[in-house]
Amino acid sequence: MNVLFPALRDGSPAPALRFGDRALSHRQLAAVAGPLAERIAELAPGGRAPLAIWATPTPETAVGVVAALLAGVPAVPVNPRIGERELAHIVADSAPALVLAAADTELPGPLAALPRLAPAATAPGEDTPPGPLPVEPGDESAALIVYTSGTTGPPKGVVLPRRALAHTLDALADAWQWTADDVLVHALPLFHVHGLILGVLGPLRRGGSVHHLGSFSTEAVARELSADGTMLFGVPTMYHRLALAAGEDPALAKALARARLLVSGSAALPLTDHERLTAATGRRVIERYGMTETLMNTSVRADGPDATGTVGVPLPGVYVRLVDDAGRAVEASDGETVGEIQVRGPNLFTEYLNRPDATAAAFDGGWFRTGDMAVRDPAGNYRIVGRKATDLIKSGGYKIGAGEIENALLAHPGVAEAAVTGERDADLGERIVAWIVPETGPGAAPAPSAQELTDHVARQLAPHKRPRTVHFLTALPRNDMGKVLKRDLRPAQPPAGAPDA
């Protein structure tokens, strides 16, 4: 049996959680989570039914998840901004026995009908001894049920065992030299892998601490990293804002420079933002790659060579391969040959809840089919070129990854945001379509024309990778994790000063 949080059982007085002005040490967290775990076990005995957690960015969410893990009852984190239809599906599919939410929270109908427990987040005195904590269940027991975004149908419940959580967090500790001395700063949502598992459970497993900002701002990042923060987790949208601000704000640049580790995930960080941050701070941003079903698969190592623009090498104990359309392993490590990423290892999920058909279809033998396309360089680093369903464009007999075209477009000084998709074409099979948000504001370069961007890409990449159609938008549609929702891209009237295309 793998004890998930040794510092809780040891009663460590070291800081564990801080949300705004509310903080708990590991000892205090054990004192509030232990009794809640006992109550959870009474209402959901044996973990036969999960519990739902209204996953606001608050200490109540963190306490609730820890208590559920101690009780051995799987938790279903619920996005507080969820739509009615999606919520109804998740509640019907997972059938939670109860819901954890702060006492003053108004819950929507499907959750309001469930029995409720309110996690306590008031710190008892450090002299108050925590009671005995429950015996933790086995490593294969379900820990969390995290629902996918549902881009190709109703969201699927990904059943994550305790084994997967422990392995991923320990593998990241190896790759990032993550210790109890680290103080992690972030403002990520707590209903998904990045913010909850990596961003809260990661520090707790190490015996370190997390400072959650509540909501992201460059000022808050500067404040926390200038104090005792040593690590920063963020998504590309956050790092883009930091990159722009750091060039004008010496205090922010200094704060980022003193951080031990800057980590970006959930989507690819454009090379332009890498370059801006390095120029302003002298520091590199590390990228890693994972999915809800696999947790973390690869990462650039903190002690390794620079691998900017890649998601690094496989984590300890994780096996990664590329396969072609026929399912044959791609042996080339030339940085050019594209294949689908498949993964196996102790980091994998157990099943899709109530979906044995989908579970079986997701595997090729013991290998999980990620649906992500990548190339591998001679050093063994993987570079993601996009999703097989949305980002691999087959044009004129070539397989083209949207990601490299997006990076090329973002290198143009007049481009703030870029997305690339494929569109049916009678001659080419698919044509490359670019969706552009021009730079605006003081000092911005003139808005580029469609032809200018097409020529720009053709100069940087092979001519067959140039966009054939360019649309100008005021913003790209994104989800809560900052990922571009390409299915929602629609032509719009160009912003003032931008040409029609």
**CA gap 362, 368 in Å, rounded:** 6
Confidence of residue 497 (pLDDT cuts 50, 70, 90): very low
Is residue 427 scored above 70 in pLDDT?
yes
**CA gap 150, 290 in Å, rounded:** 17
Residue 7's CATH number = 3.40.50.12780
Overall average pLDDT of the 429-450 stretch:
84
Overall average pLDDT of the 379-404 stretch:
79
Is residue 455 scored above 80 in pLDDT?
yes
- The residue from 164, 186, 218 where one domain ends is 164
Tokens of 106: 């108004």
Overall average pLDDT of the 376-382 stretch:
96
Distances (CA, A) of 90 to 113, 121, 124, 148, 153: 14, 26, 35, 10, 13
pLDDT score at 153: 65
**CA gap 55, 322 in Å, rounded:** 35
| Cβ density class 200-209: b for 16+ within 10 Å, e for less | bbbbbbbbbb
Asked whether the beta carbons of 247 and 276 are under 8 A apart, the reply is yes
Handedness of CA 207, 211, 214, 217 (dihedral sign): negative
**CA gap 467, 404 in Å, rounded:** 12
Is residue 222 scored above 60 in pLDDT?
yes
Confidence of residue 501 (pLDDT cuts 50, 70, 90): very low
> What DSSP state is assigned to residue 191?
S
Lowest mean pLDDT among 208-212, 357-361, 472-476: 472-476
Confidence of residue 440 (pLDDT cuts 50, 70, 90): confident
More confident residue, 414 or 184: 184
pLDDT single digits (tens) 252-282: 999 999 999 999 998 888 888 999 999 999 9
pTM > 0.75: yes or no: yes
**Residue 64, class by beta-carbon neighbours within 10 Å (0-12 exposed, 13-18 middle, 19+ buried)?**
buried
More confident residue, 421 or 191: 191
**CA gap 277, 284 in Å, rounded:** 7
pLDDT single digits (tens) 281-326: 999 999 999 999 999 999 999 999 999 999 999 999 999 999 998 8
pLDDT score at 484: 82
Residue 218 maps to a domain: no
Overall average pLDDT of the 382-401 stretch:
76
Confidence of residue 494 (pLDDT cuts 50, 70, 90): very low
Overall average pLDDT of the 199-212 stretch:
98
Structural domain count, the chain: 2
Asked whether the beta carbons of 257 and 226 are under 8 A apart, the reply is no
Residue 472's CATH number = 3.30.300.30
More confident residue, 63 or 129: 63
Q: Which residue has the tokens 């490359």?
A: 432
Q: Among residues 494, 261, 308, which one has the least CA distance to residue 407?
A: 308
Residue 186 maps to a domain: no
Lowest mean pLDDT among 58-72, 148-162, 218-232, 386-400: 386-400
Residue 90 maps to a domain: yes
**CA gap 116, 39 in Å, rounded:** 11
Share of the chain above pLDDT 70, in %: 94
Residue 333 maps to a domain: no
Q: How far is CA 474 from the centre of its chain?
A: 25
Helices first, then strands: H and E counts in the chain: 14, 26
pLDDT score at 481: 63
- The residue from 112, 144, 164 where one domain ends is 164
pLDDT single digits (tens) 70-115: 999 999 999 998 888 889 999 999 999 999 998 889 999 899 999 9
Is residue 145 scored above 80 in pLDDT?
yes
**CA gap 388, 370 in Å, rounded:** 9
Overall average pLDDT of the 148-173 stretch:
89
Confidence of residue 205 (pLDDT cuts 50, 70, 90): very high
Query: N- to C-terminal Cα distance for the chain?
Result: 60
Domain that holds residue 24: 1-164
Tokens of 5: 């949080």
Residue 296 maps to a domain: no
Per-chain mean pLDDT for the chain: 89
Contacts of 244 by beta carbon, 8 Å cutoff, 6+ apart: 276
pLDDT score at 15: 95
Q: How far is CA 435 from the centre of its chain?
A: 23
Is residue 492 scored above 80 in pLDDT?
no
Residue 201 maps to a domain: no
Residue 265 maps to a domain: no
Asked whether the beta carbons of 342 and 323 are under 8 A apart, the reply is yes
- The residue from 142, 164, 186 where one domain ends is 164
Residue 248 maps to a domain: no
Q: Among residues 88, 4, 116, 96, which one has the least CA distance to residue 50?
A: 96
pLDDT score at 54: 97
